[in-house]
């Protein structure tokens, strides 16, 4: 989740190699865990120094201690959001973990086709490839006439990732896993300075509701959902945080609703009331089965 940003100059080298004092790193660990659930393990000091060192220079501050003081004094919350952006890397792709999209196409969506309305939530949507994949798969499976029944919510804690997601601009190479017919139907090709880029067509972007959300918050205000995608997010959380979040997801699922998590994640050792369906797929007991 964290990586080194190749910094230049003697100040950057100092930050990357030893600029994070043990007490500062413990404070960052505590903030990361308590505010947005990230388990930042010992051994990441140099990586944290590299990522935050860049922000220190941007703000013209002296060191990371000054930066942490700046974060605490900024009551707007914008610098805290910047800290989150600095510590997290948003990696995703279209149709990532294809077995989930096969399940969506073959089993989940046909079971929802008769509903007048239903909600799908992409929790931890990153730069948007996941919710757009859900949208396109739904359009292809159910057709345009039934697409209006679906409400698609996409949330992330990163303001940077959400901005990119809502703009819907991607390098052409990102579309390599998509069928040619999808590329023509759902994307516009860039020209001139935008050559080599594509953008999700505006009528399709408008079908996704993007919203900033910290999954550590009380999620009781969130809508009831037929399906929740939360993939490759919980891998960075400790077990108590995972358990608390899964409990909140279960409370927001309709009876018979689906929770899809990343294949690198598992709920082993996490208490929950969901039924295991297959690896990385769980379902809430009740009606609609």
Cα 96 to Cα 179: distance, rounded to the nearest angstrom: 14
- pLDDT for the residue numbered 92: 81
Confidence at 90, pLDDT banded by 50, 70, 90: low
User: Which residues, 6+ apart, have CB-to-CB distance to 250 below 8 Å?
Assistant: 259, 272, 273, 274, 284
pTM: 0.80
Decide if 21 is catalytic.
no
**Spatial CA neighbour of 213 closest among 117, 123, 145, 91:** 123
Confidence at 11, pLDDT banded by 50, 70, 90: very low
- pLDDT for the residue numbered 184: 95
Confidence check: pLDDT of 116 > 80: yes
Confidence at 2, pLDDT banded by 50, 70, 90: very low
- The DSSP H or E segment spanning 283 is strand 281-283
User: Which residues, 6+ apart, have CB-to-CB distance to 15 below 8 Å?
Assistant: 7, 49, 50, 52, 53, 56, 63, 64
* pLDDT tens digits for range 178-213: 999 999 999 999 988 889 999 999 999 999 999 999
User: Which residues, 6+ apart, have CB-to-CB distance to 237 below 8 Å?
Assistant: 37, 38, 39, 245
Cα 42 to Cα 51: distance, rounded to the nearest angstrom: 16
Cβ pair 134, 96 in contact under 8 A: no
- pLDDT for the residue numbered 253: 98
Confidence at 31, pLDDT banded by 50, 70, 90: confident
Instruction: Indicate which residue of 51, 55, 96, 205 is catalytic.
Output: 51
Decide if 63 is catalytic.
no
* pLDDT tens digits for range 46-55: 888 888 888 8
- pLDDT for the residue numbered 280: 94
Which of 3.10.180, 2.60.40, 1.10.155, 1.10.10 is the CATH number of 9-87? Answer: 1.10.155
* Mean pLDDT of the region 84-92: 71
Cβ pair 46, 17 in contact under 8 A: yes
- pLDDT for the residue numbered 3: 34
Instruction: Indicate which residue of 55, 96, 156, 205 is catalytic.
Output: 156
Confidence check: pLDDT of 107 > 90: yes
- The DSSP H or E segment spanning 200 is strand 197-200
Average pLDDT, the chain: 87
From the centroid of its chain, how far is CA 124?
2
- C-beta neighbour count of 54 within 10 angstroms: 17
Which of 3.40.50.150, 2.102.10.10, 3.40.140.10, 3.40.50.850 is the CATH number of 98-283? Answer: 3.40.50.150
What residue segments make up the domains of the chain, in order of their start?
Answer: 9-87, 98-283
111, 243, 32, 158: CA torsion to nearest 10: 10
Confidence at 76, pLDDT banded by 50, 70, 90: low
């Amino acid at each position: 989740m964290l990586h080194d940003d190749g910094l230049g100059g003697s100040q950057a080298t100092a930050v990357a190699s030893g600029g994070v004092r043990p007490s500062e790193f413990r404070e960052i660990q505590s903030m990361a865990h308590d505010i947005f659930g990230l388990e930042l393990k010992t051994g990441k000091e140099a990586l944290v120094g590299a990522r935050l060192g860049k922000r220190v220079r941007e703000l013209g501050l002296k060191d990371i201690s000054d930066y942490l003081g700046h974060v605490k004094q900024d009551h707007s919350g914008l610098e805290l959001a910047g800290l989150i952006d600095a510590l997290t890397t948003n990696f995703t792709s279209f149709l990532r973990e294809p077995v989930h999209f096969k399940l969506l196409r073959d089993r989940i969506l046909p079971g929802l086709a008769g509903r007048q309305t239903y909600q799908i939530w992409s929790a931890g949507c990153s730069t948007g490839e996941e919710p757009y994949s859900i949208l396109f798969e739904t359009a292809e499976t159910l057709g345009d006439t039934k697409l209006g029944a679906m409400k698609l919510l996409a949330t992330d804690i990163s303001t940077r990732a959400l901005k990119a997601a809502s703009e819907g601009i991607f390098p052409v190479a990102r579309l390599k896993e998509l069928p040619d017919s999808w590329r023509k139907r759902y994307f516009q090709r860039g020209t001139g300075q935008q050559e080599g880029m594509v953008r999700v067509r505006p009528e399709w972007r408008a079908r996704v509701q993007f919203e900033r959300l910290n999954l550590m918050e009380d999620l009781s205000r969130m809508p009831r959902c037929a399906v929740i995608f939360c993939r490759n997010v919980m891998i960075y959380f400790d077990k108590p945080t995972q358990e608390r979040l899964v409990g909140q997801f279960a409370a927001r699922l309709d009876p018979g609703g689906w929770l899809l998590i990343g294949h690198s994640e598992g709920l082993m050792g996490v208490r929950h009331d969901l039924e295991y369906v297959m690896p990385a797929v769980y379902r809430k007991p009740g009606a609609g089965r």
